[in-house]
């Protein structure tokens, strides 16, 4: 459990970035606004929907930093992978150079491949 907070941030980012979440949130907001706009019953959050505004502000206050944390983790993972690819590329280039030198030696000695 090296970075539990980062893992949670990635899971939250995956949920917040899903079409499922966007659809559910859209329906929930629509139901909330419709319920509070129709007359004839008690309205827990009448127009201009201050409680809804507060809830969405709280969601944004936590979603923003969590999305940034998830992005930072992905960036760090990508950076490590790029470094590894660079090291691997250098190793391959050294090996190819060595093989080319060996082939040149064999040809210089007059041996046929």
User: What are the domain boundaries of the chain?
Assistant: 4-81
Q: State pTM to two decimals.
A: 0.66
Spell out a b/e string for 12-33, using b for 16 or more CB atoms within 10 Å of the CB, else e: bbeebeeeeeeeeeeeeeeebe
Look at residue 112 and tell me whether its pLDDT is greater than 70: no
Mean pLDDT over residues 70-87, rounded? 92
pLDDT digits 0-9 by tens, 32-41: 999 999 888 8
């Amino acid at each position: 459990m090296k970075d539990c907070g980062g893992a949670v941030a990635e899971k939250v980012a995956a949920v917040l970035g899903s079409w499922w979440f966007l659809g559910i949130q859209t329906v929930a907001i629509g139901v909330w606004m419709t319920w509070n706009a129709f007359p004839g019953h008690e309205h827990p959050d009448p127009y201009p929907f201050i409680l809804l505004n507060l809830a969405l502000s709280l969601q944004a206050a936590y979603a923003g930093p969590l999305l940034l944390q998830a992005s930072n983790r992905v960036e760090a993972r990508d950076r490590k992978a790029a470094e590894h690819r660079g090291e691997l590329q250098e190793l391959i280039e050294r090996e190819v150079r060595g093989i080319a030198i060996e082939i040149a030696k064999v040809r210089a000695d007059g041996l046929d491949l």
